[in-house]
Structure 1
Amino acid sequence: MENRNLVNVTLAAIVIAALIVSGIAPFDRATWVMEVAPVLIALPLMIATRQSYPLTMLLTVLIAIHALVLIGGGAYTYARVPLGFWLQDLLGTVRNPYDKIGHLLQGFVPAMVAREILIRGGYVVGRRMTGFVCICIAMAISASYELIEWAAALAMGQGADEFLGTQGDQWDTQSDMFMALIGSSTAMALLSGWHDRQLKRLISK
């Protein structure tokens, strides 16, 4: 339990520090607010429910990683994140691919969140059906986010370019959702067994 608390405190401190630093002088303040909004919602919620509804360590780490990716995108905007430029040079892509990492995690992490909630609540029976429902939930979240981007584009016009991060790609929406599908499917395929073992230990306490 002490190790769990130490890891939780450490991860929270890292995310909070990154959030503060990213908010000092982001490239675009409105974009920063929109990109880090999920972190501003999830972090207080996780802290408030850490005793009544503690998460598995696997899920906690995944959420922290996702938060840091979102914070990086908020600080620089997704088209300007230095890590993305490094990947662009490494992979020889025509655009900064950092936003695709974000959308991959947008499928990967919500699918794991859904899996933990569904299994602990006993809402779905069967491993395959659980995996299918988790992928569907992750894709629904991805589609909802694309609708939010569409609404932002309508409301802000050219001012939404930094938030959208399309970089001139007319198929950006479709590729974003495809990355979410890859992420959610990969999470179910690779982490289900590990997640089950952690859930068993958590529930038995």
Structure 2
Amino acid sequence: MSGDLRPVPWIVPLLWSLVGLAFVASGWQPFDRGTWVLEVTPVVIAAPLLWALRRRCPFTPMLLGLIAVHCLILIYGGAYSYARVPLGFWLKDLLGTERNPYDRIGHLAQGLVPALVAREVLIRRGVSAGRWLTGFLSLCVAMAISAWYELIEWAAALALGQGANEFLGSQGDIWDTQSDMFCAFIGALLALALFSRWQDRQIARGPRWQVSPLKT
């Protein structure tokens, strides 16, 4: 059944085209090459993986669009480093914060998108029964990813010393790790509250995955 892919809304291919253009543009002269590599690595992993799975395990258009937006957030942050993103300075003036808050947007997305990815995989594979259990497990997956990302930042700090400052982007905030994880938690809750029903509708009317549900 290789020809069973249904057309997706035009916004999804547009967003992924923007991801490709932004990736190339951001890599031309980023503020810090090492930081750029670290920040866009998830994009380099996710985009080919989604392409390879597009027929066997096609995700919903909504989720593909949100993943593309998350990629754009990462690419934009990697080009300038999170503490120097122009949009963040505008938000700083608007909100009256003491630091550039752009990285908080990244961590909100870091909770929101993985929660929906986990939820869709759980539903498609029939791993959990019940709306609340599926939501809880999706939240747990998002928080686990957030925790692992903070461990990666910690490892980078140990390995690179001062050279990891741009990647860490803590801006002198001693509670940066906890704040990042809290933002991911809020993002995951927003994902489940705002997008679950939309995701359910798209799963119901979309193409089936070409993998069998897991047996319990």
TM-score range with shorter-chain normalisation? over 0.9
Measured against aligned partners, the alpha-carbon deviations of 1:35-84 in whole angstroms (never above 9, x if no partner) come to 00000000011111112211101101100000000001100000000110
SS of alignment partner, residue 4 of structure 1: coil
Instruction: Provide structure 1 residue ranges, at least 5 long, that are not aligned to the other structure.
Output: none
Letter in 2 for 1:192: S
Which residue, out of 167, 176, 179, partners 1:175?
Answer: 179
Matches within 5 A, 1:52-201: 52-201=56-205
Q: What is the DSSP-based 3-state SS (H/G/I as helix, E as strand, rest coil) of the residue aligned with 2:188?
A: helix
Q: Which residue of 2 aligns with 1:47?
A: 51
Do the aligned partners of 2:6 and 2:207 also contact (CA within 8 Å) in 1? no
What is the Cα-based RMSD across aligned positions, in Å?
1.5
* TM-score normalised by L of structure 2: 0.91
- Of structures 1 and 2, the one scoring higher in RCO (CA 8 A, sep 6+) is 2
Q: For residues 159 and 176 of structure 2, what CA distance do their matches in structure 1 show? A: 19
CA distance, structure 1, for counterparts of residue 179 and residue 86 of structure 2: 21
Q: Which amino acid aligns with 1:112?
A: L
Q: Which amino acid aligns with 2:37?
A: V
Moved more, 143-152 or 6-15: 6-15
CA distance in 2, matches of 1:2, 1:136: 31
Q: Distance in 1 between matches of 2:188 and 2:8?
A: 26
Is residue 6–residue 206 contact of structure 2 (8 Å, CA) maintained in 1? no
Question: How many residues are matched?
Answer: 205
TM-score calculated relative to the size of structure 1: 0.96
Change (3 A) 1:190 1:26: same
Aligned-residue offset at 1:204: 6.2
- The reply on whether 1:32 has 2:36 as its aligned counterpart is yes
Larger fraction in helix: 1
1:18-29 counterparts in 2 under 5 A? 18-29=22-33
Indicate how the Cα distance of structure 1 residues 7 and 168 shifts in structure 2: closer, same or farther if over 3 A, else same. Answer: same
CA distance in structure 2 between the partners assigned to 1:118 and 1:62 by the alignment: 18
Unaligned runs of 5+ in 2: 210-216
Residue 192 of structure 2 aligns to which amino acid in structure 1? Answer: M
- How has the CA–CA distance of structure 1 residues 204 and 152 changed in structure 2, closer, same or farther, with 3 Å as cutoff? closer
**Match of 2:50, as an amino acid?**
M
Residue 104 of structure 1 deviates from its aligned partner by 0.5
